[in-house]
Structure 1
Amino acid sequence: MPARDNVEIGLNRFARRGYDLDEVSIVPSRRTRDHDDVSTAWQIDAFRFEIPLVTSPSDAVVSPTTAIGVGQAGGLGVLNAEGLWARYDDPTDVYRQLREAAGPHGGPPVSLLQRLYAEPVKPDLVTARVKELSAAGVTTAVRVSPQHTVQLAPTVLAAGVDLLVIQGTIVSAEHVTRAGEALNLKEFIADLDVPVIVGGAADYQTTLHLMRTGAAGVIVGVGADSWSTSDTVMGIRVPLASAIADAAAARRDYLDETGGRYVHVIANGRIETSGAIARALACGADAVQLGEPLRVAAEAPGGGVWWDSVAAHPRLPRGSTSAAAEPRGTLEEVLLGPADEADGRTNLFGALRRTMAKTGYRDLKEFQRVDLVIGGTGAEAPGPGHLAG
């Protein structure tokens, strides 16, 4: 396991020092390069993407239409097989209720989310949504939670999904339970013909264990964003820069262990600006998982309101909801520009291309070797009530 500075927090009690993305800065130290000569493409298994984007499976930003739009823009849209589009034949009225319940200073109440998500998941709707994505000609990806993988995965796979995403706040290779049979990821993945992305992982050892299950990609981070309450509710907070670096070390060690099998690291946390995307990739991630930044796209089904999937948990919600944000442009403009403000919220991946050009790297694998320095400017430091991820 990689060495890490330990800090004594009390008599004979130590904690590992960790760093978040806003504490890490990229240092230009090589030649510069024309931005047209830079590639932001990456490939997982047989699927190539022009931008290193995997969407969060939040219903606030991902509908079948936006998943297709992300695919056409060069990223991977992930639809939630346990979300509104799998519970309602037409969730238009559900979205209307959520938008109308959002005020100028806050989002719809979590209790409303819980009520709307109490509608059962309908397997035939899951099948219909996957086929809709496939018919559009984009790479199809669907998320299931670890708790419902055994029940829902056969439906998703039979519908012809290209990539299966098994994602929870924290996922382990082996879940221990006294109530029924637990999901064994290694056995489950071994029986599949499609690549699987699993997560989230929070440290080197968990990432390595998940890689050993046969996963094609591991999501690193617990998804904490500006509206996450995982820290308040459960005391869990993951400094994402350190978590990504640990996962990159696990990726390297697993590559050596297997004689060449490369597993992709996908960073998921408080990545809300183009600068944070660049820092996450510089720390060693192959791609980033974005949710909240996409709510300002005109096509976002939530109409600018944001909530994570765990905010609707029936027993222990771990996230609040946002007020509605004004659209900042089309989905393509948010992802690829042009930007009309200098706040890092639009042209997210065009900015990444510029960063890579300014530091002289031609592709993402090279860019992972860029020099880093500790000492954030505070420009993206958490505001009042914010819980860093």
Structure 2
Amino acid sequence: MRDLVEIGMGRTARRTYELDDIDIVPSRRTRSSKEVSTSWQLDAYRFDIPVLAHPTDALVSPSFAIELGKRGGLGVINGEGLWGRHADVEAKLAELVALAESDVDVEAPIKRLQELHAAPLQPGLLAAAVAQVRDAGVTTAVRVSPQNARALTPQLLEAGIDLLVVHGTIISAEHVAHGDSEPLNLKTFISELDVPVVAGGVSDHRTALHLMRTGAAGVIVGYGSTEGATTTGEVLGIGLPMATAIADAAAARRDYLDETGGRYVHVIADGDITSSGDLAKAIACGADAAVLGAPLAVAAEAPGGGWYWPSAAAHPSVPRGTMLPVSFGERPSLDRVLTGPSDDPFGSLNFVGGLRRSMAKSGYSDLKEFQKVGLTVRA
């Protein structure tokens, strides 16, 4: 039963919970973390760890996608980002970092980011980025917005992508386009493709269920909210309590599973995951995997040079993010971020190791079983 709170005469709001509001409660016999599996499968593609990288130029270059893929995760290239617009992306990123580090004009980095994103997309550049990842033998995934999905997808399919990610701050099963353009009906769109589609973000049970009915292989919950980097709350007034949102989407998955007689759609959490404990709690709430942004951007392999910004920061008229410094001094390797060893007592390194140990302490051997672990809400 939903917990409704009266916020004024005739107006109620639902009480919801963040990941920080809940705790995992072990209640079974413990097991060795070596007996725990963190693998999961999305359509025909199997991954050793439940980690995707947020599709921002600050994080996912073709080389980073390859490195994450070799370690069992999935790097998602932003199909509308700099890798498809400029041949010298490394130089452009260095320019952005220099502007951010100068601290003379706090708005200058975002202005420059918008200018760089205003350059036309060049199909050859994007195809080359896709080919680089594909030729390395790892799963190739590219993100497009609902507004541009119909126009960009054919060239991505020709380039050889394995997975398509239709991703926006908040999306629905049908996107109403501007002017005389035909609305994007995701169900029709997905049915015409030969590759699996992951779609999101969503914020509630109803929207998640509608997206599952489109034929999506996975549904993203959240919009990548990151304290200090995303400003969607300030700009749009939209907030997303991740613990509740994930649990709602997991309930939609159960309903859809019953509705279809067995079709399982993966729930992917995207937002407010800054530590290995947060990752464990996201899985415990019902997620099959999680999108990480700033936590991965600290890695030496990330192209942002110790800085992070979400893909929404480049919006031409309503930017919803800023450049955030995430690493100072020597940056850890991606191996240390994912699997350790860690010397940080707060969970910013060894994400997968922390998740494995949480599962082991709770007595669960795989991710789907761990979704049944007991939870409590802090008073």
The reply to whether TM is greater than 0.5 is yes
Asked if 1 retains the 8 angstrom alpha-carbon contact of 2:205 and 2:249, the reply is yes
The CA distance in 2 between the partners of 1:93 and 1:218, in whole Å, is: 34
Aligned to 2:216: 215
Letter paired with 2:68: V
Letter paired with 2:201: G
Asked if 1 retains the 8 angstrom alpha-carbon contact of 2:147 and 2:177, the reply is no
CA-CA distance at 1:324 after TM superposition: 5.5
Of 268, 281, 284 in structure 1, the residue corresponding to residue 283 of structure 2 is 281
- In structure 2, runs of 5+ residues without a counterpart are none
Aligned to 1:152: 152
The CA distance in 1 between the partners of 2:302 and 2:53, in whole Å, is: 12
Aligned to 1:332: 335
The CA distance in 1 between the partners of 2:163 and 2:238, in whole Å, is: 28
Report the 3-state secondary structure (helix = DSSP H, G, I; strand = E; otherwise coil) of the residue aligned with 2:134.
helix
Letter paired with 2:262: G
Aligned to 1:382: none
CA-CA distance at 1:138 after TM superposition: 0.2
The CA distance in 1 between the partners of 2:263 and 2:372, in whole Å, is: 20
TM-score (norm 1): 0.94
Aligned to 2:24: 26
The CA distance in 2 between the partners of 1:108 and 1:374, in whole Å, is: 42
CA-CA distance at 1:223 after TM superposition: 1.7
What percentage of residue pairs aligned between the two structures are identical? 58
Aligned to 1:74: 72
The residue correspondences of 1:3-18 to structure 2 (distance < 5 A) are 3-18=1-16
Aligned to 1:347: 350
The residue correspondences of 1:300-319 to structure 2 (distance < 5 A) are 300-319=302-321
Report the 3-state secondary structure (helix = DSSP H, G, I; strand = E; otherwise coil) of the residue aligned with 1:335.
helix
Letter paired with 1:352: L
Letter paired with 1:191: E
Larger displacement relative to structure 2 (81-90 or 136-145): 81-90
The residue correspondences of 1:1-389 to structure 2 (distance < 5 A) are 3-103=1-101, 109-177=109-177, 179=179, 180-226=181-227, 227-323=229-325, 325-326=327-328, 327-375=330-378
Deviations 1:192-238 (A, max 9, x none): 11100000000000000000000000000122111211111111001
Asked if 2 retains the 8 angstrom alpha-carbon contact of 1:107 and 1:321, the reply is no
- In structure 1, runs of 5+ residues without a counterpart are 377-389
The CA distance in 1 between the partners of 2:35 and 2:354, in whole Å, is: 14
Larger displacement relative to structure 2 (101-110 or 344-353): 101-110
Computed over aligned residues only, the root mean square deviation of the Cα atoms, in angstroms, reads 1.4
- CA distance change for structure 1 residues 107 and 371 in 2, over 3 Å: closer, same or farther? farther
Letter paired with 1:254: Y
The CA distance in 2 between the partners of 1:241 and 1:257, in whole Å, is: 24
**Which structure dedicates a bigger proportion of its chain to strand?**
2
CA-CA distance at 1:97 after TM superposition: 0.4
CA-CA distance at 1:109 after TM superposition: 2.5
The CA distance in 1 between the partners of 2:293 and 2:325, in whole Å, is: 15
Letter paired with 1:354: R
Letter paired with 1:368: Q
The CA distance in 2 between the partners of 1:176 and 1:145, in whole Å, is: 13
The CA distance in 2 between the partners of 1:278 and 1:331, in whole Å, is: 19
Larger displacement relative to structure 2 (120-129 or 175-184): 175-184
The CA distance in 2 between the partners of 1:74 and 1:267, in whole Å, is: 17
The CA distance in 1 between the partners of 2:224 and 2:89, in whole Å, is: 25
